[in-house]
Amino acid sequence: MKALRRFMDNIKPHFEEGGKLGAFKSVYDGFDTFLFVPDAVTKKGAHIRDAIDLKRTMSVVVLALVPALLFGIYNTGYQHFLSLGQEVTFWEIVSHGLIKVLPLVIVSYAVGLGIEFAVAQMRKHEINEGFLVSGMLIPLIVPVDTPLWMVAVATAFAVIIGKEIFGGTGMNIWNPALITRAFLFFAYPSKMSGDYVWISGLSSGEGVVDGFSGATPLANAAAGLTEKLPSVSDMFFGFIPGSIGETSTLAILIGAVLLIATGIASWKIMLSTVLGGLTMGLIFNAFAVNSFMEMSAINHLMLGGFAFGAVFMATDPVSGSQTETGKWIYGFLIGMFAILIRVFNPAYPEGMMLAILLMNTFAPLIDHYVLQSNIRRRMKRVKVNA
Amino acid sequence: MSQIINIKKGLDIRLKGKSDVVLSRPSMADSYAIKPTDFHGVTPKLSVNIGDKVKAGAPLFFDKNNPKVLFTSPVSGEVVDVVRGERRKILEVIVKADSEVEYQNFDITKGNFSAEEIKELMLISGLWPSVIQRPYGIIANAEDSPRDIFVSCFDSAPLATDIDFMVKDEVESFTAGVKALQKLTSGKVHFGLNADYQKDSLFTKIDGVELHYFRGMHPAGNVGTQIHKVNPISKGDIVWTIAPQHIIMLGRLLTKGIYDASQIISLGGSEVKKTGYFKVISGASISNLVDKNVNNENELRYISGNVLTGQQISKDGFLGYYSNSINVIPEGRHFEFIGWALPGLKKFSMSKTFFSWMTPKKEYSLDTNLNGGDRAFVMSGQYEKVVPMDIYPVHLLKAILAEDIDKMEQLGIYEIIEEDFALCEFVCTSKIDVQHIVRQGLDLMVKELG
């Protein structure tokens, strides 16, 4: 490692301002700090610091996404060959999945990180690690047949309009990955919904075995076809059509356990989102007038992007509520709105994306009221004393 | 025993090198210094020149804005140097000590002093700066009469100093000091005690003080935490705080008529070979304590005070006015290959992202590496876990950064000083200089509201 360190030190002068490669200073810094935790020491304040940094934090989240990614790769292949009615080996399934999913991951990272590097260079600050997570989230929340150029355009939109114009990681109002999805959803609705986009090959008209429908269970349920719902175990393990990473509740739960155990994501938001979803589901059950409203509240949690959103999207510390009390309210409302939009909006069956974006918007307001109650307690004390 | 106040939020940082509770009396250091930088908001004006002879208790400089507050020499000797920094800012006034301390005598023949007389004696002897005012954490204004006076009688910071041990042989001076303090406030003198320490410490035997027992993690021993739990500071309140070692000095002043700044300090940290407690005089050069007593292989950081809030000094630097400990830890000027991705069994973190969480009792030798780069606020809920006050730290810090005085006031700036947020700085993922921001906010408040 010493040789590598020497090499990095040797090429460093070229990347300083005025050096041959001065325009790539942020890129150099990015790689340098990726390879080596820097030798910077504390200058003021506390002399010792916690070992955690943003790289560690973000890499834990990416690690938590890995089960969903792996399952997504498998399920992509599995659904593909299911639609063709072919019996194939495990490795054929996986390799088909890899061929479909990896390009999405690569495009998302390449476009997003490219913009991040450029902006960091422009602003002369270090590269923020936030996109390491966004870049992994984006491929997991799109349908598998989304054209790569669309993913590229949407990612660029999300990083620039959704994040960098506000000042970069830590300053954004909405979750950048969800901005990507919302952009795709409203700009190219035909590629983001319907019965043909969820399974690779279906939209290009490859032969489909008789009686096979590519509709997601959620779309079926919204159409009143609740009798077509797959078995609970299929929904839980994820052998259903849907966006790449969202189908397996089990894989998402494994990620959730890691996030909660390490203390990276707020268990309060996850729990309250689930509670909010359950509550709304039960309310609908009580006043059910159609079969979708009658659907078990538990099923709601396993369908569509609910679980994925609750674990990986709602918990984004930047765009979510930042006070501990606020987190309970924020999560609960996300759960409620997600189910509400799902059931009552005829245009599209998935409510999680919009529910989270809506609550991202209102998170500062929730925090404001939580803070106001703190301020009132403090001011009351002054009056009592006076 | 009265009710125990449990501190449920906070963090105990387990470091190697806790001081052995053994007292040594090292030979006297050859030089001593008073550092104007120890005192917030003071503009020093020298009252001596290099070459002047001074006695212990004779003024070295005073505060230009408040000329009654004198800063005096802790020993007798010759002023040998005035160290200046940028823009000729005075950093240290150094006195080379005589072999035996000769004290300036203050008139105490009258006895039974009034509050005004006590303040007067403290001001001219150089002991007044030991009284800290909340809000703002600055030297108290002698014209005020504080609501209460708070004394924290235990230390909970990493490598905590045993304060019971430091005071146990000073019963008489300490008692006299507390008696004087009681005259300075219209309210009460409050002691914050650790519920788990020995029940018959000196602190429990003093008449007329309110005892409050605390249990829990750091910052349970911070006086700011204790005030907040007992009777928080609201707008308009003034509360004073003073450290036990200064109460002892106050007692000596009033009973002997001299400024005897000797105190017991702890020497600790992972790089110290033989830790322990030492009887020294405030402002002493630390060189004879650490010379040949530290591991020399690595670059070291010497800290006057604890590792969270102390000041960095050189190996022949001086004990700070407010410090009761010296800690020596390794500097962290090294690169670590993909350090952020390693399991991290030797790394300490509040989060459980390093596998060191599996060894909850292990003690660590932490160095001064920042362990990351500066970022914007990203994580939420992190600071809240280590601040046991009804305060929203991140929002208060943002109000300070925005210089929004109304918001700062509403969000509780009167209740905190730097040390109360020191743990936030420690745990911060984004490596934000929290204590520095807090001081900026306090300075702004002093400037705008006075």
B74-107 tens-digit pLDDT: 999 999 999 999 999 999 999 999 999 999 999 8
The residues near A327 (Cβ < 8 Å, ≥ 6 apart) are A266, A268, A269, A272, A320, A321, B381
B156 three-class SS: coil
Q: Choosing among A47, A123, A377, which should be mutated to test the B contact, i.e. which has the most B CBs within 10 A?
A: A47
Mean pLDDT in residue range B323-341: 88
- Considering CB atoms only, which of A51, A130, A320 is closest to B371? A51
Residues of B in contact with A318 (CB under 8 A): 378, 380
User: Model confidence over B249-261: pLDDT tens digits?
Assistant: 999 999 999 999 9
Average pLDDT of span A310-322? 94
Whole-number pLDDT of residue A173: 92
> Which chain A residues are closer than 8 Å to B441 by Cβ?
none
Q: CB–CB of A144/A199 below 8 Å?
A: yes
pLDDT band at residue B1 under the 50/70/90 scheme: low
Output the CA torsion sign for B108, B112, B117, B118.
positive
**Residue B276: pLDDT above 90?**
yes
pLDDT confidence bin for B241, thresholds 50/70/90: very high
What pLDDT score does A137 carry?
A: 95
CB contacts < 8 Å between A and B, how many?
215
Q: Closest approach of chain B CAs to the CA of A284, in angstroms? A: 33
Residue numbers in B near A46 (CB within 8 A): 307-309, 422, 425-426, 435
**Has residue A385 got a pLDDT over 80?**
no
Rounded CA separation B232/B168 (Å): 30
Report chain A's mean pLDDT, rounded to a whole number.
88
| Residue B116, φ and ψ in degrees, nearest 5 | -60, -40
Give residues with Cβ within 8 angstroms of B63, minimum separation 6: B39, B42, B43, B44, B45, B69, B71, B139
From B310, B354, B430, residue closest to A54, measured CB to CB: B430
Q: Pick from B376, B394, B426: which is nearest to A322 by CB?
A: B394
Number of C-alpha atoms within 13 angstroms, CB side, residue B70? 19
Out of A180-189, A244-253, B296-305, B371-380, least confident range: B371-380
Q: What is the ipTM of this complex?
A: 0.91
Domain coordinates of chain A in residue numbers? 2-33, 54-204+212-372
Per-residue pLDDT of A326-338, as tens digits, reads 999 999 999 999 9
CB A63 within 8 A of CB A258: yes
CA A169 to each of CA A75, A107, A172, B224: distance values in angstroms, whole numbers, following the listed order: 32, 20, 6, 33
- What percent of chain B is modeled with pLDDT above 90? 80
CB contact under 8 A, A262 and B353: yes
Number of neighbours of residue A134 by Cβ within 10 angstroms: 28
Q: Is the pLDDT of residue B20 over 80?
A: yes
**B100-137 pLDDT tens trace:** 999 999 988 888 899 999 999 999 999 999 999 999 99
Task: Give the pLDDT of residue A316.
Answer: 93
What's the pLDDT score for residue B75? Answer: 95
The pLDDT assigned to B342 comes to: 80
Closest partner CB to A374 (pick from B369, B371, B390)? B390
d(CA A152, CA A103): 11
Both tokens of B62, joined, read: 């005073």
When computed from its CA atoms, the radius of gyration of chain B, rounded to whole angstroms, is 21
Give pLDDT, residue A86: 84
Spell out the domain ranges in chain B.
4-26+108-256, 382-449
Kindly tell me if the per-residue pLDDT of B38 is higher than 90. yes
Helix (H) or strand (E) holding B229: helix B223-230
The secondary structure of B354-410, three-state, reads CHHHHCCCCCECCCCECCCCCCCCCCCCCHHHHCCCCCCHHHHHHHHHCCCHHHHHH
User: Which residue, B182, B74, B81, is CA-closest to B125?
Assistant: B74
B415 CA: distance to closest CA in chain A (Å): 11
Q: What is the 3-state secondary structure (H, E, C) of chain A?
A: CHHHHHHHHHHHHHHCCCCCCHHHHHHHHHHHHHHEECCCECCCCCCCCCCCCHHHHHHHHHHHHHHHHHHHHHHHHHHHHHHHCCCCCHHHHHHHHHHHHHHHHHHHHHHHHHHHHHHHHHHCCCCCCHHHHHHHHHHHCCCCCCCHHHHHHHHHHHHHHHCHHHCCCCCCCCCHHHHHHHHHHHHCHHHHCCCCCCCCCCCCCCCCCCCCCCCCHHHHHHCCCHHHCCCHHHHHHCCCCCCCCCCCHHHHHHHHHHHHHHCCCCHHHHHHHHHHHHHHHHHHHHCCCCHHHHCCHHHHHHCCCHHHHHHHHCCCCCCCCCCHHHHHHHHHHHHHHHHHHHHHCCCCCCCHHHHHHHHHHHHHHHHHHHHHHHHHHHHHHHHHHC
For the segment A166-175, what is each residue's pLDDT rounded down to a tens digit?
Answer: 988 888 999 9
CATH class of B4-26+108-256: alpha beta
Beta-strand pair B262-268/B276-281: antiparallel
- Cα–Cα separations (whole angstroms), residue A190 to A145, A197, B214, B324: 11, 8, 64, 71
Residue A292, pLDDT > 90, answer: no
Mean pLDDT of A121-141: 88
Instruction: Please tell me the distance in Å from A318's CA to the nearest CA on chain B.
Output: 6
Q: Which of B417, B349, B411 lies closest to B385, judged by CA? A: B349
Q: Distance (Å) from the C-alpha of residue B385 to the closest C-alpha of chain A?
A: 10
Q: Does residue B167 have a pLDDT over 80?
A: yes
Q: Which of A273, A256, A246, A386 is nearest to A329 (CA)?
A: A273
Flag whether pLDDT at B242 surpasses 90: yes
pLDDT at B3: 84
Compute the average pLDDT of residues B401-414. 94
Q: What is the Cα–Cα distance from B227 to B211, expressed in whole angstroms? A: 12
pLDDT, one tens digit per residue, over A24-39 is 777 888 888 888 888 8
Q: What angle do CA A335, A101, A309 make, to 5 degrees?
A: 10
Q: Is the CB of A51 less than 8 angstroms away from the CB of B332?
A: no
pLDDT at residue A196, as a whole number: 75
Distance CA A71, CA B394 (A): 38
Distance from C-alpha of A149 to C-alpha of B183, rounded to nearest angstrom: 78
- Whether the per-residue pLDDT at B417 is higher than 60: the answer is yes
Q: Which residues face B63 on adjacent strands?
A: B44, B66
Lowest average pLDDT, out of A89-98, A160-169, A183-192, A346-355, goes to: A346-355
